[in-house]
């Protein structure tokens, strides 16, 4: 695998930088730089998506015929890294990075014609309905019922940990349409209008104080069968396909490398336990160096996975490996950032950040005072939010079980 940038790649990098310099306003850059989780401020994210859509870059990983870009793997990497370096806010992954690929693979032409353009321009905003109060990482144990009634499915039950359900107008759900011998059977993948009668959203307050996650209740919600993706009772096939994109379909190494670089930069400005800059403390330097090396290793592994996918092959258990490595490394880097923030990192001051959801119970100081620098206010919130990284998209314990069986032949 040749990782040397060609003249064309360098020209593309310069094109991306020029675009970002022109289109990223100070407000949008702040939303990216001061983000407290993997989810940017919703308004800033949607504003940035509209700008990218106008340029044709909202979903570069999509096939060209659906609005994607005919880019090489190197160009995708360049675009991702340059966007992060410039401080661009992230886009919600639920539509663009996840359910869109399932719609392309399993959807009817009518579904593709309606949902894909809407996902691109932001008029269709999806959230994910997978986890239930009694069904998390063991997703196949889900029980939310969908009963056939003529041309509709009548859905009753609830989903939990539903990110941005309060902003979404559509949700993709796994529902139980029949009970069969294997729990993976009898599951259906369905697209539900969030404005349908019987849908209720209740926010969940996270440890950071943000209301990003929600519980969604469905009370006899009528869903047209034309909104089923794939076939009834075979939704597990669609879900497995989509989970590849959720767990390892993108590149996270560039973001982690930038996070580590920021920690190094900040460490040079604060005092360490030895009296000098923290960046001169051998113990801290060793921990940061380890994180940087792991980020480079992850980058190579992601290149290999993306190369496999670009050739039309299923990366298989590699997606689970990338999910484990990426989330645990992100947690490690947020720990280092919190260590660098020092006493200022113990102060709860979300008014100095751009959180991924509302914080209704917090009253900021009247004069807007911030203890320390803004990055020191971001550090504790990012640390708290990242604790969920090893749980969402299938807990890392489950991913290790998958690897043990699929890659090592155990169990």
Q: Which residues contact 96 (CB under 8 A, 6 or more apart)?
A: 58, 59, 62, 119, 120
Count other C-beta atoms under 10 Å from residue 56's C-beta.
13
Average pLDDT of the chain?
91
CATH of the domain at 228: 2.40.110.10
pLDDT of residue 309: 66
CATH of the domain at 74: 1.10.540.10
pLDDT of residue 247: 52
Q: Is residue 181 part of a domain?
A: yes
Strand partners, 147: 154
What does each C-alpha distance from 233 to 199, 239, 246 come to in angstroms? 23, 12, 22
Q: Rounded to whole angstroms, how far apart are CA atoms 32 and 28?
A: 6
Q: Mean pLDDT over residues 351-359, rounded?
A: 93
Is pLDDT of 249 > 70?
A: no
Note whether 269 and 346 are within 8 A (CB).
Answer: no
Q: Mean pLDDT over residues 134-146, rounded?
A: 86
Q: How many domains does the chain have?
A: 3
Residue 200 host element (H or E): strand 199-204
Q: Which two tokens stand for residue 79?
A: 């675009």
Same domain, 397 and 299: yes
Q: Mean pLDDT over residues 143-168, rounded?
A: 96
Q: Is residue 204 part of a domain?
A: yes
User: Which residue matches tokens 């106008």?
Assistant: 54
CATH of the domain at 286: 1.20.140.10
* Nearest C-alpha neighbor of 131 from the set 246, 234, 43: 246
Q: Is residue 107 part of a domain?
A: no
Same domain, 301 and 273: yes
Strands 145-149 and 199-204: unpaired
Q: Which residues contact 139 (CB under 8 A, 6 or more apart)?
A: 130, 131, 174, 239, 394
Same domain, 274 and 321: yes
* Nearest C-alpha neighbor of 169 from the set 223, 228, 119, 113: 119
Strand partners, 155: 146, 221
Is pLDDT of 229 > 80?
A: yes
pLDDT digits 0-9 by tens, 182-205: 999 999 999 999 999 999 999 999
Same domain, 224 and 310: no
Residue 191 host element (H or E): strand 187-193
Is pLDDT of 181 > 80?
A: yes
**E strands present in 119-186:** 126-129, 145-149, 152-160, 170-176
What does each C-alpha distance from 127 to 159, 319, 355 come to in angstroms? 11, 21, 18
Q: Is residue 184 part of a domain?
A: yes
Same domain, 188 and 64: no
pLDDT digits 0-9 by tens, 87-112: 899 999 999 999 999 999 999 999 99
Same domain, 388 and 261: yes
Note whether 183 and 141 are within 8 A (CB).
Answer: yes
Is pLDDT of 393 > 90?
A: no
pLDDT band at 409 (very low <50, low <70, confident <90, very high): confident
For residue 288, give the 3-state DSSP assignment. Answer: helix
Tell me which of 73, 91, 109 is where a domain ends.
Answer: 91
pLDDT of residue 305: 78
User: Which residue matches tokens 């920690």?
Assistant: 263
Domain range for 70 is 7-91
Is pLDDT of 246 > 80?
A: no
Tell me which of 200, 234, 268 is where a domain ends.
Answer: 234
Same domain, 259 and 364: yes
pLDDT of residue 244: 66
For residue 54, give the 3-state DSSP assignment. Answer: helix
- Nearest 10 degrees: Cα torsion 304, 309, 315, 320: 80
Count other C-beta atoms under 10 Å from residue 85's C-beta.
15
Q: Which two tokens stand for residue 181?
A: 């011998």
User: Which residue matches tokens 């990482």?
Assistant: 137
Q: Is residue 120 part of a domain?
A: no
* Nearest C-alpha neighbor of 225 from the set 153, 309, 174: 153
pLDDT band at 332 (very low <50, low <70, confident <90, very high): very high
Same domain, 173 and 300: no
| First CA to last CA distance, the chain | 34
Q: Is residue 102 part of a domain?
A: no
Tell me which of 234, 259, 285 is where a domain ends.
Answer: 234
pTM of the full predicted structure? Answer: 0.87
pLDDT digits 0-9 by tens, 277-328: 999 999 999 999 999 999 999 988 887 877 776 666 777 788 889 989 999 9
Q: Is residue 182 part of a domain?
A: yes
Same domain, 211 and 329: no
Within 107-198, residue ranges assigned H as helices are 109-121
Same domain, 213 and 256: no
Same domain, 253 and 230: no
Q: Rounded to whole angstroms, how far apart are CA atoms 356 and 118?
A: 22
pLDDT of residue 2: 52
Strands 170-176 and 126-129: parallel
Same domain, 271 and 323: yes
Q: Is residue 305 part of a domain?
A: yes
């Amino acid at each position: 695998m040749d990782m040397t940038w060609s003249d064309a790649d360098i020209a593309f990098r310069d094109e991306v930088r020029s675009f970002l310099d022109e289109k990223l306003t100070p407000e949008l850059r702040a939303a990216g730089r001061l983000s407290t989780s993997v989810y940017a401020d919703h308004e800033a994210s949607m504003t940035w998506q509209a700008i990218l859509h106008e340029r044709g870059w909202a979903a570069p990983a999509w096939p060209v015929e659906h609005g994607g870009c005919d880019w090489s793997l190197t160009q995708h990497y360049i675009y991702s890294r340059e966007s992060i370096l410039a401080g661009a806010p992230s886009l919600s992954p639920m539509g663009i990075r996840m359910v869109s690929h399932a719609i392309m693979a399993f959807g009817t032409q009518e579904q593709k014609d309606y949902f894909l353009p809407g996902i691109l321009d932001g008029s269709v905003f999806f959230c994910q309905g997978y986890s239930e109060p009694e069904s998390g990482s063991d997703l196949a144990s889900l029980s939310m019922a969908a009963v056939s009634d003529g041309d509709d499915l009548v859905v009753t039950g609830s989903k939990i940990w539903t990110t941005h359900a309060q902003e979404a107008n559509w949700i993709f759900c796994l529902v139980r349409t029949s009970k069969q011998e294997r729990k993976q059977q009898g599951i259906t993948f369905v697209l539900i209008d969030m404005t349908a009668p019987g849908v209720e959203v209740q926010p969940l307050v996270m440890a950071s104080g943000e209301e990003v996650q929600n519980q969604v209740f469905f009370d006899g919600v009528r869903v047209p069968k034309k909104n089923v993706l794939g076939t009834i009772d075979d939704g597990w096939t669609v879900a497995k396909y989509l989970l590849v994109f959720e767990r390892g379909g993108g590149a996270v190494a560039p973001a982690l490398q930038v996070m580590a670089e920021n920690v190094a930069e900040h460490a040079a400005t604060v005092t360490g336990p030895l009296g000098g800059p923290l960046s001169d403390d051998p113990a801290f330097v060793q921990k940061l160096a380890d994180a940087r090396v792991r980020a480079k290793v992850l980058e190579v592994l992601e290149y290999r996975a993306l190369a496999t996918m670009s050739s039309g092959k299923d990366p298989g258990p590699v997606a689970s490996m990338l999910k484990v490595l990426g989330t645990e490394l992100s947690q490690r880097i947020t720990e280092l950032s919190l260590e660098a923030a020092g006493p200022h990192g113990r102060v709860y001051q979300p008014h100095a950040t751009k959180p991924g959801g509302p914080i209704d119970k917090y009253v900021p100081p009247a004069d807007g005072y911030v203890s320390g620098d803004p990055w020191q206010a971001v550090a504790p919130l990012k640390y708290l939010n990242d604790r969920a990284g090893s749980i969402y998209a299938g807990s890392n314990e489950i991913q290790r079980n998958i690897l043990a069986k699929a890659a090592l032949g155990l169990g």
